[in-house]
Amino acid sequence: MKILTFTICLLLCQWAHGQILADFENYNIGVDSALIDAGEAGVFESGEITLKNNFFESEFGDYFTDWAISSMTDTLTEGNSNSTSAFAGSGHQSDTYAVASAFNPVKIGLNQNTSASGFSSLYLTNSTYTALSMLNGDAFAKRFGGETGEDPDFLKLTIKTILDGVISSDSIDFYLADYRFEDHSLDYVVKDWTFVDISALGQADSLVFSLSSSDVGAFGMNTPAFFCMDDVAVQMQSATFDAERPDAIDLKIYPNPARDQITLKTDVKTIRNIQILDQGGKIVSEINGEQQQINIDRLKAGVYYLQVISAQGVAIQKLIKL
């Protein structure tokens, strides 16, 4: 369903509340394969974004740094040979996604001549190699939690924007694994694709992603420096959007804040999917198909995001549950 939705979305170049998705489905690589060589161009492109790729040939296995495109589904095999698999087992509701080899910071940029003004959101998860290393340890990297399970380990992805060559001081931290809770039953390694709202970072022409880990030695980070990304939503310049896309999604929620039930008001005719995500990007409720009224009484009080996915794109609104 999602594949169809976003393929249509891209093919028709449809705009969603001023957003365009980069879902990497334009790379028709089938299932269980990885494209680690972008060729002479040295970049992958999807939607309005560009991802740099460095490819190295070796008789003992080619490898890459920065970005690769993958549809690998292996969630069980440990080791570097499985570095291009997403721990979620697929792309975000699709086959294809991007994988970063990020011992050094990696970037994504907006295409030249785009009318986009920044980045809205993206989905992130661990690579299988990294996740299993954090869960089990290996000869070089520690199992998170350490010997006793009590070490406050973490793998953090810091996202910053770049505008005209200047890196922002503001950043968004996303924890691909977090073992810093006093109650260790809450410790986690991200497995599912997780929504991350980065719209607060504002206008940008690039994003820079930096990994940092609590498991660091003289040779730098011991934790394998890979992560996976999908469905990068790019924010279009509103002036252009308003002028050229009069049919943009108009999404309203009321009441907001709400206690038990909310009502959606939108001009979208074919809603494919409605998701409510918590602040960490985790899907806490999902409704397939159209529904104007949604019961939220089971949700804990807090801030959520309501995401409407339609053939016309994606719309997101903040929702406060009382």
Partner 1 sequence: MKKWILCCLVSFSGFFYVNGQEEIIDTITISMPSLRSNNLGGTTRSFNLQNAESVAHTLQNQSTVFIKNYGPGSLATSSIRGGSAGHTLVLWNGLPIQNPFLGLLDLSLLDTWAMDKMELQKGGHSAMWGSGAIGGVIDLQQKPHLKSKFQVENRLAYGSFGRWEEKLKIGIASKKFQSVSSISYLTAQNDFTYPLTNGELRTQENAMQRQLNINQDFYWLIDQKNQITGHYWRSRNNRENPPTTVQRKSEAYQFDGADRVTLHWNHYEENTTLKAKAGYYIEDLNYFDPQQGIESITHFETFLADTDYEINLGTHHDFNFGFSHFRTAVQSPANYANDATEVKSAWFGRYQYKWFQISGRQEVVNGALVPFTPSTAFAFPIGGGISSKGKISRNYRLPTLNDRFWVPGGKPDLLPEAGWSQEFTLTYKKAKDRLSLQIENTVFNRQINNWIQWTLDGPFNINQVWSRGLEFQINTNWTAEKFTQNLHAGYNYILSTSKKALQFPKINAGDQLFYTPIHQGHLQYHFQFRNIKLSYRQILVGKTSGINDHLDGYTIGDFDVSYQTGSFVLEAQLRNVWNKNYRIIERRPMPGRNFEIALSYTFTKY
Q: Which residues bind partner 1 (CB under 8 A)?
A: 56, 58-60, 77-82, 103, 135-139, 142-143, 146-148, 150, 215-220, 222
Residue 61 has which token pair?
Answer: 């296995």
**CA-CA distance, 298 to 259, in Å (whole number)?**
10
Q: Least Å distance between CB 140 and partner 1? A: 9
Q: Least Å distance between CB 52 and partner 1? A: 19
Q: Are 72 and 125 in contact (CB under 8 A)?
A: no
Beta bridge partners of 51: 44, 108
C-alpha closest to that of 99 among 58, 53, 152: 53
- At residue 215, the 3 state secondary structure works out as coil
Tally Cβ neighbours within 10 Å of residue 54.
Answer: 16
Cα–Cα distance list, 305 to 67, 117, 315 (Å): 28, 22, 10
Nearer to partner 1, 220 or 257 (CB): 220
Report the amino acid identity of residue 27: Y
Q: Least Å distance between CB 63 and partner 1? A: 8
**CA-CA distance, 189 to 157, in Å (whole number)?**
13
Nearer to partner 1, 77 or 292 (CB): 77
Measured in residues, the chain has a length of: 322
**CA-CA distance, 227 to 86, in Å (whole number)?**
8
Nearer to partner 1, 14 or 133 (CB): 133
Nearer to partner 1, 59 or 164 (CB): 59
Phi, psi of 3 (to 5 degrees): -60, -50
Q: Least Å distance between CB 179 and partner 1? A: 12
- At residue 75, the 3 state secondary structure works out as coil
Q: Least Å distance between CB 150 and partner 1? A: 7
Nearer to partner 1, 200 or 218 (CB): 218
Q: Least Å distance between CB 220 and partner 1? A: 6
Please report which residue ranges of 12-166 form alpha helices under DSSP H.
128-136
Q: Least Å distance between CB 78 and partner 1? A: 5
Nearer to partner 1, 143 or 160 (CB): 143
**CA-CA distance, 15 to 226, in Å (whole number)?**
31
Nearer to partner 1, 32 or 247 (CB): 32
Q: Least Å distance between CB 93 and partner 1? A: 29
Q: Least Å distance between CB 37 and partner 1? A: 16
Nearer to partner 1, 103 or 181 (CB): 103
Nearer to partner 1, 48 or 66 (CB): 66
Helix (DSSP H) and strand (DSSP E) numbers for the chain: 3, 23
**CA-CA distance, 228 to 126, in Å (whole number)?**
6
